[in-house]
C-alpha cells in the first residue's frame, strides 16, 4: 500500500494510523490542509473491504473538507477519520473511547464530527476523552428547531437560499411557481421541501420509502413520482438530496431542469460532468458550496456565536454561489472547476 504515491494523495499534511489491541479499533485520520485553521471533518465507520479502500476514502474525503471549509469562509482546514468495521456488529463503547483518545493524540489539529455509521451518542463518548470533538450539542439553531447534533436544519436552509439565488441567476425569477424535483426526503430533503413550499414553489418528490413521499404530499401538496421518473421531469430545478454520483452522462441527458441545486455530497459521477452540464445549459450549484450549512453550524457550535450570526453565515452561501457563477461565465468554465479555483485561492494552495 503506497501513501505518498497514492492516487488520492494530495500533499496531505498528516496521516495517522491507529490499532488498539484491547478493543480491535482500526482507524485512520487524514489531515489534508490546515492553512486556514485546525482541520474539521466527520468520523466515518464503514466495513471497508480492505485497508486500501479505507485509505482511499480518508484521503479523498479529507481533501474535500478543505475545499468545503474554504468556500464556507471558515477558519478551518480539512480532515477526516475512518474506522474500519461494520458499525452494527463491532462498535463498542470501549472502541469509541479508544477513538476519542486517538483523536486527542493529534492535539487539536483534527476536530472530529459525525458521519455515516456514527451517532451523536458515539461522539459524546469520544468527547469524554478529547475536547476536539464537535457536533455533540447545539447551542445555536437557524429557525428555532434544535438539532440533536445532526446539522440538517442548517444544511437544508443553506440549500434553500442557494437554490433561490441559483434560480434568480439562471432564470431571473423568484421561487413563486417554480417547479422543483426533490430526490430524497430525509433529514435535509424534507426540510428543504418545507422552505420551498413556503416560498411558493411547486414540488415533485421521490424517495425509496413511500411513507416519506406520503408525508411530503400531505404537508406540501407535492406531486409524488417514482425514483426512476425524477430525472426527466419537466421542472425548473432538480434538487438531489439522497446519494452521490447521480449526475452521469445518462442522467444528465434526461434532465430537463435548468438548475441543479441540492444537498447530496459528490453529485458529479466524475469532475468532467460539470462541463457536460454546462454544455447543456444547466446551471450546477457545486455540492460542497451549497450544502455547507451543516459545517457552518458545527463551526458555530464551537465558537462564541448567536442564532442570528449563524443564520447570517449560512445565508452567505448565496453570495459565494453568485461569485462562482459570475466567474464561470466570465471564464467560460464549468462551475465545479471555478469553485475549486476559488477554494484553492482561499486556502493558499
Ligand atoms: P438521509 O439519510 O436522512 O436522507 C436521504 C434520503 O434519501 C432518505 O430518505 C432515503 O430513503 C432517500 N433515498 C435513498 N436512496 C434513494 C433513491 N435512490 N431515490 C430517492 N431517494 C432515495 O440523509 P440526509 O442527512 O438528508 O442527507 C442527504 C444528502 O445530503 C446526503 O448525500 C448527505 O451526505 C448530504 N449532506 C447532508 C448533510 C446534513 O447536514 N445532514 C450535510 C451535507 C451534505
User: Would you list the domain boundaries of the chain?
Assistant: 3-127, 152-339
Q: Give the mutation target among 61, 184, 240, 264 for probing the ligand 1 site: most ligand atoms within 8 A of CB.
A: 184
Q: Judge whether 69 and 77 are in contact, CB under 8 Å.
A: yes
pLDDT score of 136: 86
Query: Looking at domain 152-339, which CATH architecture does it have?
Result: 3-Layer(aba) Sandwich (3.40)
Q: What is the pLDDT of residue 4?
A: 94
Separation of alpha carbons 65 and 51, rounded Å = 21
Ligand 1 and 207: CB distance under 6 A: yes
Rounded CA separation 216/224 (Å) = 8
Strand pairing of 14-20 and 25-33? antiparallel
pLDDT (0 to 100) of residue 331: 98
Coil, helix or strand for 203?
strand
Residue 162 grid coordinates: 442557494
Are residues 121 and 135 in contact, defined by beta-carbon separation less than 8 angstroms? no
Catalytic residue among 63, 68, 80, 91: 80
- What whole-number distance in Å separates Cα of residue 92 and Cα of residue 30? 23
- Cα distances (Å, whole numbers) of residue 86 to 77, 119, 122: 28, 14, 14
Whether residue 240 has its Cβ less than 6 Å from ligand 1: no
Q: Using an 8 Å Cβ cutoff, are 263 and 156 in contact? A: yes
Please give the pLDDT value at position 144: 79
Alpha carbon of 211 to ligand 1 centroid (Å): 15
In this chain, the answer to whether the domains covering 3-127 and 152-339 adopt an identical fold is yes
In the block, cell 457536533 appears at 135
**Residues recorded for the chain:** 349
Q: State residue 349's pLDDT score.
A: 81
- In whole angstroms, give the CA distance from residue 24 to residue 12: 26
**What CATH architecture does domain 3-127 belong to?**
3-Layer(aba) Sandwich (3.40)
Instruction: Decide if 54 contacts 86 (C-beta within 8 A).
Output: no
Contacts of 53 (CB under 8 A, 6+ apart): none
Q: What is the CA(209)–ligand 1 centre distance, in A?
A: 12
Q: Residue 43 CA to chain centroid, in angstroms?
A: 13
Ligand 1 close to Cβ of residue 227 (< 6 A): yes
Give the integer Cα–Cα distance in Å for 33 and 30: 9
Tell me what the pLDDT averaged over the chain comes to: 96
Question: In Å, what is the CA distance from 309 to each residue of 140, 284, 305, 312, 316?
Answer: 9, 27, 6, 5, 11
Pocket test for ligand 1, best of 71, 230, 240, 241 (most atoms within 8 A of CB): 241
Q: What is the pLDDT of residues 246-299, one digit of tens each?
A: 999 999 999 999 999 999 999 999 999 999 999 999 999 999 999 999 999 999
Would you give the DSSP letter of residue 268? B
To the query of whether residue 280 is one of the catalytic residues in this protein, the response is no
Beta bridge partners of 83: 27, 45
**The dihedral sign for the CA sequence 210, 212, 218, 223:** negative
pLDDT, position 139: 87
- Residue pLDDT, tens place only, 29-39: 999 999 999 99
User: Which element (helix H / strand E) includes 162?
Assistant: helix 152-171
Q: Decide: 190 and 216 in contact? Cβ < 8 Å.
A: yes
Collect the ranges in the chain with pLDDT lower than 70.
none
pLDDT of res. 135: 85
Amino acid at each position: 500500500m503506497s501513501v505518498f504515491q497514492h492516487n488520492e494523495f494530495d500533499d496531505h499534511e498528516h496521516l495517522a494510523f491507529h490499532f488498539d489491541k484491547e478493543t480491535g479499533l482500526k482507524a485512520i485520520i487524514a489531515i489534508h490542509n490546515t492553512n486556514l485553521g485546525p482541520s474539521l471533518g466527520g468520523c466515518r465507520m464503514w466495513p471497508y473491504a480492505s485497508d486500501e479502500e479505507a485509505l482511499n476514502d480518508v484521503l479523498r474525503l479529507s481533501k474535500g473538507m478543505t475545499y468545503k471549509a474554504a468556500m464556507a469562509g471558515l477558519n478551518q482546514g480539512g480532515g477526516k477519520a475512518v474506522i474500519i468495521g461494520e458499525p452494527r456488529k463491532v462498535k463498542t463503547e470501549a472502541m469509541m473511547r479508544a477513538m476519542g483518545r486517538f483523536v486527542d493524540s493529534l492535539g487539536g489539529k483534527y476536530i472530529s464530527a459525525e458521519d455515516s455509521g456514527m451517532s451523536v451518542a458515539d461522539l459524546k463518548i469520544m468527547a469524554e476523552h478529547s475536547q476536539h470533538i464537535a457536533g455533540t450539542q447545539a447551542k445555536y439553531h437557524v429557525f428555532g428547531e434544535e438539532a440533536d447534533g445532526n446539522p440538517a436544519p442548517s444544511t437544508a436552509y443553506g440549500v434553500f437560499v442557494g437554490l433561490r439565488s441559483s434560480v434568480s441567476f439562471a432564470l431571473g425569477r423568484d421561487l413563486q411557481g417554480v417547479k422543483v424535483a426533490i430526490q430524497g426526503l430525509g433529514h435535509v430533503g424534507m426540510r428543504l421541501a418545507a422552505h420551498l413550499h413556503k416560498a411558493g414553489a411547486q414540488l415533485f418528490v421521490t424517495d425509496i420509502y413511500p411513507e416519506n413521499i406520503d408525508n411530503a404530499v400531505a404537508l406540501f401538496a407535492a406531486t409524488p413520482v417514482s425514483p426512476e421518473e425524477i430525472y426527466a421531469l419537466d421542472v425548473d430545478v432538480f434538487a438531489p438530496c439522497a446519494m452521490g454520483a447521480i449526475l452521469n452522462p445518462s442522467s444528465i441527458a434526461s434532465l430537463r431542469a435548468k438548475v441543479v441545486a441540492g444537498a447530496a455530497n459528490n453529485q458529479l459521477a466524475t469532475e468532467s460532468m460539470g462541463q457536460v452540464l454546462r454544455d447543456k445549459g444547466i446551471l450546477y450549484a457545486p455540492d460542497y458550496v451549497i450544502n455547507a450549512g451543516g459545517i457552518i453550524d458545527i463551526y458555530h457550535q464551537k465558537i462564541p456565536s448567536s442564532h442570528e450570526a449563524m443564520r447570517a453565515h449560512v445565508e452567505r452561501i448565496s453570495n459565494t454561489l453568485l461569485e462562482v457563477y459570475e466567474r464561470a461565465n466570465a471564464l467560460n468554465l464549468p462551475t465545479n472547476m471555478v469553485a475549486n479555483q476559488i477554494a484553492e485561492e482561499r486556502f493558499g494552495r
